[in-house]
Chain A
Amino acid sequence: MLWGISGVAKLSQAAIRTGFDGSVVSNVYEPDRLMLLGFIGSRVASELIRRGESTVIIKDEDRRFSDDRINGRKPGDFVN
């Protein structure tokens, strides 16, 4: 189960790295992701990343890292 949480956290970090370009959110049926999270879990992870704004506060280092990549978002507005 902890492996699954770690997987979702990595997906979230990947989404931050790519500047929320939608690639992580739309990549629902990637085989490794399906094996770890299943069909529903993979969609839930995408929804968490897409809708996480204002509900989950990221760590300061992540915020600094992602600030210059995401236009229009305030620090602390992202996503898990």
Chain B
Amino acid sequence: MSSMSDSYKNSANTPSKQTLTKYIAMALLALLSFGLTGLGAIVVMFALSTLRAGRDSAASHGISSRNSSRLGGVAIVITFILFLIGMVLLSSYTPGVVRDVTFLHVWSTVFVCVILGGAEDIKADLLSPYFRLVVKLLAFGFFLWTTPNVVPLVIGIPGIDYLLSVPLVAWGLCTIFCVGFINAFNMADGANGLIPGIATIAFGILFLVYGRPAEGVLFFVCLMFLIFNVVSGWFFLGDMGSYGLGAVLVCYGLLGVAQGDFSAGFMASLLSYPCVDFLVSVIRRLRKGLSPLQADNGHLHNRLYSFYAPKFKSRVTPNSLTGLTISSGSSGVSLIIYVFDWIAIDSNTWFGIFGIQVVVYLIILSRLRRTQMNQSELIIGMSS
């Protein structure tokens, strides 16, 4: 429990009042949402968050200002596997990987991504970024080559539809898109509840669309992680979580679009934040002459955190508020439109919603950047 030492007031390991409040809040939210089953998942996550392995110092992780664990992905994988094993043993559930070869290929690819991320979580910089990139390209290239039914033939954008009509080009484009999306998901994982919030909403919608147990379990696991992550701020997804969840979402998304269950615009709108933030960050870095994958603090979530931080005494509250604001303001909008059935999920009107989300992102980013530049100029002026 070394990393949580600041949560304990004395050497007798008595939790502080603030820590006790967090325990109670997590337990209540878990009980209300998923009953004793949810509470069990929270206990598993708490146990994993106290392990020495996968520790992050405060300085090394995004906008967090305290020591934390990056084994959130491990907790999600363990809880998910526990549930699957339980469902196979205790009920009449037959997993998709047994029923359908497409799902076998999907989950094999997810497994490769999970292992890649897990290696990085257990020991930072164990694998070079280029090695991970090549492995992801190979995994998705192989997956899409052997499972061509996952590659959409039409997405509703004339130029891209023309390219997708050439099988080899479609395969190459989809491979690059999948790897890019996973990196985008990983890059956007910089605030409590941001990526877990987006994943919870996405799996919730996928569950409502398909009614499959796997999405139901992923929705449950992501929601429990979201509660733990947002309330405590002790636990991050890590590379295993962001690679794994990103891989599941991109595979299910492609499959859904290829089958015509929902439009590409719907998926773009649902997962707008990681996609837009990734593209804007890459462009920003290239314009500065930096590597497109070099980490910086110019993301919208960094700027929103800087906006919230002075307004709160707590360090966790502005961090969690940043993540929840962005996830509910991007994917949450798609969820509301879907739940109220304002736009059919197979409609290309969703591209319009995505366009609005892009414009809103750029306006907010620009305003926050300008405000923060004015503030820093004011501080420099006052100090001189």
Contacts and interface: CB of A to CB of B under 8 A. Distances in A.
Interface of A: 1-9, 12, 34-42, 44, 47-48, 50-52, 55-59, 62, 80
A3 B36 contact: yes
Contact of A38 (B31, B79, B99): B31
Contact of A4 (B40, B93, B94): B40
B32 A38 contact: yes
Nearest to A42: B35
Contact of B92 (A48, A55, A58): A58
Nearest to A6: B90
Return the 10 tightest CB-CB contacts between A and B, nearest first: A51-B211, A4-B37, A9-B91, A38-B35, A5-B86, A41-B34, A1-B40, A38-B34, A58-B92, A59-B92
Given A47-B208, A47-B211, A80-B213, A40 B223 contact: yes
B177 interface: no
A55 B35 contact: no
B35 A1 contact: no
Main secondary structure of the interface of B (DSSP, over half): helix
Nearest to A16: B92
A35 B33 contact: no
28 contacts: A1-B83, A2-B82, A4-B37, A4-B40, A5-B37, A5-B87, A5-B90, A9-B87, A37-B34, A37-B37, A38-B33, A38-B35, A38-B38, A40-B223, A41-B35, A42-B35, A44-B219, A47-B216, A55-B211, A55-B212, A56-B92, A56-B93, A56-B94, A57-B94, A57-B99, A58-B92, A59-B92, A80-B91
A39 B32 contact: yes
A11 to B, nearest CB: 10
Interface in B165-213: 207-208, 210-213
Given A2-B90, A41-B38, A56-B92, 4 more contacts: A7-B37, A38-B33, A38-B37, A40-B34
B36 A55 contact: no
